[in-house]
């Protein structure tokens, strides 16, 4: 079924883009996925970076409104919303202590539960302005991309 999408470089770039746009895996999954599909590194990197960064400003600007709407119209989602708010609050001390460096490190280290989506949520809930948060998150995503590149090509050389 996915063959039609991954049969061309454009399709592979789209698959990498959308894989990188998804929460949780983000670029940590999208970039190795694009490389595994056979995309040349610059194309895989570009698609993964764009896919990972597209949701960031929307999350920062709209997540509070989305949470408010969900609480009003979908009360069963309150536990999920509280979990997300707690996740942001857990990182409040680090962000308060280290400022933008804390947010950057949070994105740059490609571990489960970190990344652009969570950093955007933290920025929104801690009232960090979009104009300040987006460049910091972008730099963090670029560092994460460099780490994932080293890991991906290291694994490829070990396996082959």
Per-domain residue ranges for the chain?
Answer: 3-159
The Cα–Cα gap between 82 and 84 comes to 5
Mean pLDDT of 95-113: 86
pLDDT at 13: 95
C-alpha 33 chain-centroid distance: 15
> pLDDT digits over 48-96, tens only?
999 999 999 999 999 999 999 999 999 999 999 999 888 888 878 888 8
Q: Is 1 helix (H, G, I), strand (E, B) or coil?
A: coil
How many CB atoms within 10 Å of residue 104? 20
Contact (CB, 8 A) for 52 and 30: yes
Total residue length of the chain: 160
Top-ranked range on mean pLDDT: pick from 2-6, 90-94, 132-136 = 132-136
**CB-CB contact of 133 with 101 (8 Å):** no
pTM of the model: 0.87
HSE value, Cβ hemisphere, 13 Å, CA-based, for 133: 28
Rg, Å, the chain Cα set: 17
Please report where in the chains the tokens 């560092």 appear, as a residue.
143
Q: What is the dihedral of CA 55, 56, 57, 63, to 10 degrees?
A: 80
- Whether 158 has a pLDDT exceeding 80, the answer reads no
User: 62-101 b/e with 16+ CB inside 10 Å = b?
Assistant: ebeeebeeeeeeeeeeeeebeebeeebeebeeebeeeebe
């Amino acid at each position: 079924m996915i063959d039609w999408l991954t049969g061309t470089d454009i399709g592979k770039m789209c698959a990498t883009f959308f894989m990188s746009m998804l929460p949780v895996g983000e670029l940590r999954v999208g970039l190795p996925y694009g490389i595994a599909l056979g995309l040349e590194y610059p194309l895989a990197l570009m698609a993964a970076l764009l896919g990972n960064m597209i949701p960031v400003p929307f999350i920062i600007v709209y997540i509070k409104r989305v949470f408010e709407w969900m609480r009003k119209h979908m009360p069963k989602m309150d536990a999920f919303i509280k979990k997300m708010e707690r996740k942001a609050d857990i990182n409040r001390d680090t962000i308060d202590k280290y400022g933008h460096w804390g947010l950057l490190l949070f994105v740059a280290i490609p571990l489960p539960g970190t990344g652009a989506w969570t950093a955007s949520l933290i920025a929104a809930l801690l009232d960090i302005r979009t104009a300040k948060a987006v460049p910091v998150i972008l730099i963090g995503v670029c560092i994460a991309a460099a780490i994932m590149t080293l890991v991906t090509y290291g694994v490829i050389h070990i396996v082959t």
